[in-house]
Amino acid sequence: MDGRRAALRGARAATVAVPAAFLVLFFGYPFGTILARGLTPHGGFDVPLDVLTAASTLEILWFTIWQAAASTALTLVLGVPLAWVLARFEFRGRALARALVLVPFVLPTIVVATAFLALLP
């Protein structure tokens, strides 16, 4: 019985090891090589550090953080009360309000579908 359990454990290990080795070989190694060559031209981290500490990069980073914070705050200020009203009350136009709230979630799918249709002859 112990030999059978050991064989079962070995089979389970192989079931995990084979896909893991495949991923490392065909994804991890090329990705790591490209990343190492891109970040360390001539063996140093000077270029990435220069890019990350450049004034224009810091301005873009600050704008991105500011815009994300403002979008989050605006979404909370508008979304939480609207969700509360939609969940608690029955009123005329409720279905329209719910539909308008769902548009941003459906729209990316429609845009992708339209793009694919535009690509087809």
- Domain-embedded: residue 79: no
- Domain-embedded: residue 74: no
pLDDT digits (tens, 9 = 90+) for 60-86: 999 999 999 999 999 999 999 999 999
- Domain-embedded: residue 6: yes
Report the C-alpha gap between 83 and 100 in whole angstroms: 12
**pLDDT value at position 76?**
95
User: What's 53's DSSP letter?
Assistant: T
- Domain-embedded: residue 103: no
Q: How many domains does the chain have?
A: 1
**pLDDT value at position 67?**
96
Q: Which residues of the chain have pLDDT under 50?
A: none
Write out the residue range of the structural domain in which residue 4 sits: 1-53
**pLDDT value at position 109?**
79
Report the C-alpha gap between 76 and 79 in whole angstroms: 5
- Domain-embedded: residue 46: yes
- Distance set, CA 89 to CA 80, 94, 102 (Å): 14, 9, 18
In this prediction the pTM is: 0.51
- Domain-embedded: residue 72: no
- Domain-embedded: residue 41: yes
- Domain-embedded: residue 110: no
